[in-house]
Amino acid sequence: MSFLYIKALHIIFVTTWFAGLFYIVRLFIYQTEASERPDPERSILVKEYKRNTKRLWFAITWPSAILTLIFGTWVLMHVPAYLKEGFMHIKLTFVFMLYIYHLICHRIYKQLQNDTYKYTSQKLRIWNEVATILLVGIVFIIVLKNAMSMLWGLVGLVAFTVILMMAIKIYKNIREGNGKQK
């Protein structure tokens, strides 16, 4: 198989993996909020969220994570010189953190499937943004590649993270304000 096909497949599965990670945590949030509703609404919604979460997690997110790893390893085997580059070590560190994030999401998934709610919807909203921060970091590292650009990229990533957290806080305040007006 041509190297470019392998690289394209790697990018495709990275994309579907991130789509799964972004949506799975949204489903966690919805299920957590549904668990606080009165019956019969609670039982109907929780059952539906559990079903949708299971489908997404095992039909898209896990397979995409595995295929990302396979095709990413294949790319590195095809171009071993990448492993000598400093930017690749930083990228792989972020990717490792992304797999840790994935495994933590799996733990949350199992807890919610067992009706164990350890996190509020607000904490899950913040958790949802961790994948965004990792995505931004990985993309900037792989595109910029040199140390000075990466330094500015890191400054940008920190600024992006701060802005994201402020946006979450503002959104929470707006949501709570709208809830009080009802």
Instruction: List residues forming the annotated binding site for heme.
Output: 10, 91
Classify the C-alpha dihedral 67-69-70-71 as positive or negative: positive
d(CA 72, CA 65): 10
Within 13 A of 161's CA, how many CA atoms are on the CB side? 14
Q: Please give the annotated binding residues, written as ranges.
A: 10, 91
d(CA 107, CA 112): 9
According to DSSP, residue 123 is labeled H
CB 150 within 8 A of CB 140: yes
